[in-house]
Amino acid sequence: MNKTTNEVQELILDKLARYFAITPEQATEEQIYKAASLVVRDILLQKKQENNARIAEGKYKRVYYLCMEFLIGRSLKNNLFNLGLTEQFDKCLKKMGFSLEDIFERESDAGLGNGGLGRLASCFMDSLATLNYPAMGFTIRYEYGLFKQRIVDNQQVELPDMWLPSGEVWMMPRSDKRFTINLGGRAEEYLDGNGRMRVRYVDSQQIDALAYDVMISGYGDGAGVSVLRLWSATSTTQFDMRSFSQGDYEKAMQRENEAELITKVLYPSDDHSQGKQLRLQQEYFLVSASLQSIIKDHLRLYKSLKNLPEKAAIHANDTHPALAIPELMRLLMDEHDFSWDEAWDIASRTVNYTNHTVMAEALEKWDENMFRTVLPRVYSITCEINRRFIAEMNDRHVDGAKIANMQVINNNQVKMANLCVIGSQKVNGVSALHSDIIKDTIFSDFNEVYPDRFTNVTNGITHRRWLLQSNPLLSSLIEELIGSDFHTKPETLSGLNKFATDKTVLDRIGEIKKQNKKAYAEYVKKTTGFALNPESRFDTQIKRLHEYKRQLLNVLKIVHYYLDLTDNPDKKVTPQTFIFGAKAAGGYMHAKRIIQLINCLSKEIQKNPKIKQKLDVMFVENYNVTQAEHLIPASEVSEQISLAGKEASGTSNMKFMINGAVTLGTLDGANVEIGERVGDDNIFIFGVKTDEVERAWRAGYNSSTIYTHNDEIKRVVDRLRIGFDGESFSDIASYLIQGNYNVADPYMCLLDFDDYKRTAERMDEAYNNADRWNKMALVNIAQSGIFSSDRSINDYAKNIWRLKKVKKV
């Protein structure tokens, strides 16, 4: 984007005058942030309009990405970077007496997601825009995003996340994009004057969905602009005038409040489907509004819906938007006069589905009665999908037990993953291992009947946000060594491999890591007061807190080191700092206890300066996208230690890798592919493999036997009972060896402990040889190109969506 510093200045002055009636001298940082963001928004809008004209002209196929979560983080810095305007804004603000870095700090994270799934969706928007595939994302404009985490008395406290005051500037309200959604009531069938079956809704609640568009600029020449459309619920335009004029204001407002409830808050759980009615309403709301909007746009361009599969790919990111299948059927049949067979042909060739988890409790199932009550018409369509599926399977002589397993509705439950597989053109997992696992486990029966439906697309991250923007020192070194092609061709990072034995380059990589660590320590000191020792090794585990991710295994290892040092304070060790960042779902008590354990251990260490020098623990409060951007470039060890077979892919593993951190992990998710890329010498793998987990269970895995026979483990677990900082953790000790409600040590921490500890010791040796370690870092960076979301998006475009890039003019 060509704009001079003076032009930028003029635009900002204009916004300050128009929106706040002030001059820069009178402006606060907040007002400068808003004015600058509005200027950027105008530029994006102009770019989008030019690009959209090209898409419409070329009649390109488009992808519509439906996702209940988008973890966007901050937007100003990202947009300036992608538009190539950072320098101009920086200079201009300096002239006005402001620092651009401080202005960035005024923006709250848009935390409209829980974790990996939502961040992936945001990385995909960046790549879609950069590669200029015609794309639009759809999600919900939650008034409150993921809760803000405070640590009080070592425990997590959840506070509402009020992101809108600063996030709102990025959203363009689209009063022309308003659709009505029907919930509840009854769906009555009747014959119209022409003898056609019609459906009317009786006693249903009507809610309007109002669109807000956020534009996301791609990076570089030829890039496009993707739109993320956020739906907000509001009552229908007809106000309850009767109640109002009778003075019953409560009743008059009630409808408004009930409608708005739908988009009030994001459900804070990413590992457990609670089957709540409001969540089902949210999912339907997203799907129905998005499909109505897609259909309207399609009809404007093509006048008919017959070619929908050729011109639109609708993507369900996990099962949360699974209702897209019956809802598309409903719209095609009830509103556009298609027969069942025609509608099914269109819908099942248009929709695709990505699975992100095999954890049984995360797979969505709805109580059939509730589903029928909330969505009467969609329910009857879903029943018909189910009936026809069963008939097809019977025709194909599929075994009855297998059919029962694949049915959408069974035992009074509606199973969303089954609905997705039946109604999708393609189904994919998110890493090579995970895509194999879904074919062998949850979808094995489906894989027998629809073998061509399943495929893999390994996840990726946008290296523009996670390397270029967050690690400028490393980025400049890479540019100096191989030029800047890698900005848009991440695979060219492999050009760094030729420096693997170049001592000067290796030293500089080490030096940059040191500087990043120092900068991070200063940032932490300033923002929290915590004193990090930049001379120690930074070993980081950041992700949602969940048992299967095994933060507890990491803690057991740290407690082991801690006990060694309390017994022998003069022991020579590699000084290390373990950094954790994690939010636990509010109702997930065990996860919250682990957060408390980490914080208590950290507190206890702070009381002993001699130990702190050698072994430290820090918990990052309110871990989010912005915190990750600060921390990852400073990290040296990437902890990816889930029990094998449980982590679908992981994406922080990729962010660490591209920043030169070395993975300490299990053979799970994308760690497997990272290992294949870097080779055994450049990764530390430990623990049981997926098939061994199954075998260990069958052989009667018994953690208490391990506890009794392994003195080190016994010492660590016993110490949990005594606890830290005055708090006993005997509940966690008994979770490990007795099992509180069910099986003991369900994620096999004790089974993997020994190998984990031994592997960490091997890592110490490598770390203490600076050349060896820096070479490992370099190889990790050089081999990370394939984990760019540019590669993932090209895979989706080619193998699933069949999209073409918009041509440059």
Choices 88-96, 264-272, 410-418, 588-596 (CB under 6 A): range interacting with ligand 26W: 264-272
Tokens describing residue 603: 């507190």
CB of 772 to ligand 26W, least distance (A): 30
Give the C-alpha separation, 376 to 370, whole Å: 10
Give the C-alpha separation, 304 to 365, whole Å: 35
Q: What are phi and psi of 758, to 5 degrees?
A: -60, -40
Is the Cβ of residue 366 or residue 520 nearer to ligand 26W in the bound state?
A: 366
Q: What are phi and psi of 119, to 5 degrees?
A: -70, -35
Per CB under 6 A, does 266 bind ligand 26W?
no
Is the Cβ of residue 107 or residue 318 nearer to ligand 26W in the bound state?
A: 318
Nearest residue to ligand 26W by CB is 116
Among 650, 665, 687, 785, interactor with ligand 26W by CB under 6 A: 650
Per CB under 6 A, does 651 bind ligand 26W?
yes
Other beta carbons less than 10 A from residue 373's beta carbon: 15
Among 129, 312, 648, 776, interactor with ligand 26W by CB under 6 A: 648
Closest CA to 136 of 17, 311, 9: 311
CB of 672 to ligand 26W, least distance (A): 12
Is the Cβ of residue 88 or residue 114 nearer to ligand 26W in the bound state?
A: 114
Other beta carbons less than 10 A from residue 638's beta carbon: 30
CB of 430 to ligand 26W, least distance (A): 4
| Annotation marks residue 655 as catalytic | yes
Strands 409-410 vs 413-415: parallel, antiparallel or unpaired? antiparallel
Give the C-alpha separation, 93 to 521, whole Å: 27
How many residues are present in the chain?
Answer: 809
Of the listed 655, 719, 775, 791, which one is catalytic? Answer: 655
What 3-state DSSP class applies to 496? helix
| Annotation marks residue 365 as catalytic | no
Choices 238-246, 384-392, 571-579, 648-656 (CB under 6 A): range interacting with ligand 26W: 648-656
Per CB under 6 A, does 269 bind ligand 26W?
yes
Is the Cβ of residue 181 or residue 648 nearer to ligand 26W in the bound state?
A: 648
Contacts with ligand 26W, 402-441, as mask; x by CB under 6 A: ----------------------------x-----------
Strands 205-217 vs 171-183: parallel, antiparallel or unpaired? antiparallel
Of the listed 434, 513, 537, 549, which one is catalytic? Answer: 549
Per CB under 6 A, does 356 bind ligand 26W?
yes
DSSP codes, 288-306: HHHHHHHHHHHHHHHS-ST
| Annotation marks residue 543 as catalytic | yes
Per CB under 6 A, does 270 bind ligand 26W?
yes
Contacts with ligand 26W, 98-127, as mask; x by CB under 6 A: ----------------xxxx--x-------
- Specify whether the backbone of 211 is left (phi greater than 0), alpha (psi in -120 to 50) or beta: beta
Give the C-alpha separation, 656 to 670, whole Å: 13
Per CB under 6 A, does 639 bind ligand 26W?
no
Residues 82 and 217 sit within 8 Å (Cβ to Cβ): yes
Residues 151 and 157 sit within 8 Å (Cβ to Cβ): yes
CB of 357 to ligand 26W, least distance (A): 5
Which H or E element spans position 209? Answer: strand 205-217
Closest CA to 380 of 320, 327, 316: 327
| Annotation marks residue 356 as catalytic | yes
Is the Cβ of residue 588 or residue 619 nearer to ligand 26W in the bound state?
A: 588
Choices 124-132, 266-274, 292-300, 324-332 (CB under 6 A): range interacting with ligand 26W: 266-274
DSSP codes, 412-463: TEEEHHHHHHHH-S-EEESSHHHHHHHHHTTTHHHHHH-GGGEEE----B-H
Per CB under 6 A, does 536 bind ligand 26W?
no
Is the Cβ of residue 292 or residue 357 nearer to ligand 26W in the bound state?
A: 357
- Within 723-748, residue ranges assigned H as helices are 730-737
Among 122, 182, 459, 488, interactor with ligand 26W by CB under 6 A: 459
Residues 431 and 759 sit within 8 Å (Cβ to Cβ): no
Per CB under 6 A, does 669 bind ligand 26W?
yes
CB of 117 to ligand 26W, least distance (A): 3
CB of 585 to ligand 26W, least distance (A): 9
CB of 315 to ligand 26W, least distance (A): 13
CB of 132 to ligand 26W, least distance (A): 24
Per CB under 6 A, does 230 bind ligand 26W?
no
Dump strand ranges (E) for 102-204: 110-112, 135-140, 148-152, 155-159, 171-183, 186-191, 197-202
Size of site (CB under 6 A) for ligand 26W? 23
Is the Cβ of residue 68 or residue 637 nearer to ligand 26W in the bound state?
A: 68
Per CB under 6 A, does 736 bind ligand 26W?
no
Give the C-alpha separation, 234 to 403, whole Å: 41
How large is the greatest C-alpha to C-alpha distance in the chain, in angstroms?
92
Per CB under 6 A, does 132 bind ligand 26W?
no
- Contacts with 150 (C-beta within 8 Å, 6 or more apart), sequence order: 156, 157, 158, 159, 621, 622
Cα angle: 408, vertex 414, 418; to 5 degrees: 35
Give the C-alpha separation, 254 to 243, whole Å: 10
Which H or E element spans position 656? Answer: helix 652-658
CB of 271 to ligand 26W, least distance (A): 6
Per CB under 6 A, does 547 bind ligand 26W?
no
| Annotation marks residue 251 as catalytic | no
Binding residues for ligand 26W restricted to 369-388, rule: CB under 6 A: none
Among 171, 225, 333, 362, interactor with ligand 26W by CB under 6 A: 362
Contacts with ligand 26W, 287-326, as mask; x by CB under 6 A: -------------------------------x--------
Per CB under 6 A, does 273 bind ligand 26W?
yes
Of the listed 47, 315, 513, 544, which one is catalytic? Answer: 544
- Contacts with 562 (C-beta within 8 Å, 6 or more apart), sequence order: 601, 605, 611, 615
- Residues marked active site are found at 356, 543-544, 549, 651, 655
> By the criterion CB under 6 A, which residues form the site for ligand 26W?
114-117, 120, 269-273, 318, 356-357, 362, 364, 430, 459, 647-651, 669
